[in-house]
């Protein structure tokens, strides 16, 4: 007899609120309510109108109180929040290459790489990127997050030990959880903590040292020479996530290994195609034998649609420009050094930043958000960052410096920081 006719409901009574009974979603709901109470929502997920370059037009976030997203009501700002480190997003040559590929290949391959999702542009990009980074081979993924999750969940496995910096990106942590390997966190950039953990492991056990190159929230750089020393001494592999260093650090923007002259000492490199490089996606680079195994063994490659050909074409052209214009990286690093010195001169704490990522410590998240709001009113866009992206007691503004910013932009940013900092009383001296 049909269960409906027997008076038994096919679906038990339940709340229409899918978050009911989910501790994780309820925690997110509490965070959302806290943001709303603190008048923070209009500074979250702010909406950009047009291409975000040196300047951009921005309006209140989608979760804020404003429902008017008309470009006419948007504020023109200098953009100090973009991952566009190299300044290549919107470059005429990149746009032309993407446009030509759009006409030839369309918007998508409508397939995954192992079936019908590979065109000659994918092959060219991976070869060009491998050559640029100085490695044997390269594989691309649909996002940087997917690259890390796929690589670590494939390369590492049960029985392995993985020593991971506590401030590594969330994607690395998620990939390691999927791997089943034993996770041994070590204190941030602390060689003594790392060596103590390594010393307790059998030399014959497979072990990995995993680290960011540039740490995305603090802007400091991994001590790769010391990690290499320990890897040699304790028979460990090094996996390095260079998402924020590719096209932002080292000669020509070739990343953290090139910055230290240690390209041959990193066993596997992952990174992003959407930060210093002006596209979308992620990559893994290293020995050809390892990359071949990832092509046939990593789920993010096998089961995700391939990157759109127009994006691929723009990335290929961007790599050419980086090789042709070494002054682009020189300008980027001049900009970051000038801005960091100016911020510190105002008595603000940039933590241990040594890269185009410059955090500014704030006393509380409401102050952080209010500072971002005041800066936007003065025509400066900077991102406010709080928990869970950083610890609860370390909210901050985070500036991302670009090569396309001009000297007058940097000076205008410092003027606005001083003015807004005085209004909120966050300057530690009478600047």
Active-site residue numbers? Answer: 216, 244, 275
Distance CA 30, CA 48 (A): 27
Helix (H) or strand (E) holding 398: strand 396-400
Helix (H) or strand (E) holding 76: strand 75-79
**Nearest to 237, CA basis, from 272, 188, 294, 286:** 286
3-state secondary structure of 237: strand
For residue 359, report the phi and psi dihedrals to the nearest 5 degrees: -85, 155
Alpha-carbon dihedral of residues 259, 257, 277, 329, nearest 10 degrees? Answer: 10
Distance CA 284, CA 270 (A): 4
Distance CA 69, CA 59 (A): 7
- Residue pair 159/232 in contact by the 8 Å Cβ criterion: no
Distance CA 187, CA 172 (A): 16
Helix (H) or strand (E) holding 368: helix 365-377
The three-point CA angle 354-249-86 to 5° equals 110
Q: What is the 3-state secondary structure (H, E, C) of 85-133?
A: CCCCCCCHHHHHHHHHHHHHHCCCCCCECCCCCCCHHHHHHHHHHHHHH
Distance CA 61, CA 44 (A): 5
Q: E-strand spans in 104-244?
A: 137-141, 161-165, 182-186, 207-212, 237-241
110: left (phi over 0), alpha (psi -120 to 50) or beta: left
Residues whose CB falls within 8 Å of the CB of residue 24, separated by 6 or more in sequence, listed in order: none
For residue 300, report the phi and psi dihedrals to the nearest 5 degrees: -65, -25
């Amino acid at each position: 007899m049909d269960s409906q006719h027997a008076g038994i409901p096919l679906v038990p009574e339940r709340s229409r609120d899918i978050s009911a009974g989910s501790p994780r979603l309820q925690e997110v709901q509490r965070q959302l309510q806290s943001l709303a109470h603190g008048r923070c929502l209009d500074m979250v997920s702010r909406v950009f109108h047009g291409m975000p370059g040196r300047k951009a037009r921005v309006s209140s976030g989608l979760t804020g109180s404003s429902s008017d997203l008309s470009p006419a009501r948007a504020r023109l700002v200098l953009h100090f929040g973009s991952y566009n480190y190299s300044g290549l997003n919107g470059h005429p040559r990149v746009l032309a290459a993407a446009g030509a590929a759009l006409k030839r290949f369309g918007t998508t391959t409508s397939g995954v790489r192992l079936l019908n999702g590979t065109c000659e542009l994918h092959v060219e990009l991976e070869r060009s990127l491998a050559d640029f980074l100085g490695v044997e081979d390269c594989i691309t993924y649909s996002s940087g997050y997917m690259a890390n999750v796929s690589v670590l969940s494939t390369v590492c496995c049960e029985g392995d030990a993985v020593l991971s910096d506590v401030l590594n990106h969330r994607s690395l942590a998620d990939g390691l959880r999927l791997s089943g390997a034993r996770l041994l966190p070590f204190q941030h950039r602390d060689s003594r903590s790392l060596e103590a953990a390594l010393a307790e492991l059998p030399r014959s056990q497979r072990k990995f040292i995993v680290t960011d190159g540039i740490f995305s929230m603090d802007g400091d750089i991994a001590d790769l020479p010391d990690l290499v020393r320990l890897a040699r001494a304790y028979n460990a592999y090094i996996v390095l996530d260079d998402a924020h260093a590719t096209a932002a650090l080292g000669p020509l923007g070739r990343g953290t290994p090139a910055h230290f002259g240690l390209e041959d000492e990193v066993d596997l490199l992952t990174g992003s195609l959407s930060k210093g490089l002006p596209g979308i996606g992620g990559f893994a680079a290293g020995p050809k034998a390892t990359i071949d195994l990832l092509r046939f063994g990593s789920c993010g490659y096998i089961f995700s649609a391939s990157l759109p050909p127009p994006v691929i074409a723009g990335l290929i052209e961007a790599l050419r420009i980086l090789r042709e214009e070494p002054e682009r990286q020189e300008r980027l690093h001049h900009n970051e050094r000038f801005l960091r010195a100016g911020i510190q001169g105002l008595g603000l704490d940039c933590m241990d930043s040594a890269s185009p990522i410059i955090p500014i410590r704030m006393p509380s998240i409401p102050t952080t958000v209010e500072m971002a709001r005041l800066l936007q009113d003065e025509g400066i866009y900077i991102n406010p960052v709080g928990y869970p992206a950083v610890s609860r007691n370390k909210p901050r503004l985070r500036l991302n410096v670009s090569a396309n910013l001009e000297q007058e932009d940097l000076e205008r940013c410092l003027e606005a920081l001083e003015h807004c900092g005085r209004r909120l009383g966050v300057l530690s001296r009478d600047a």
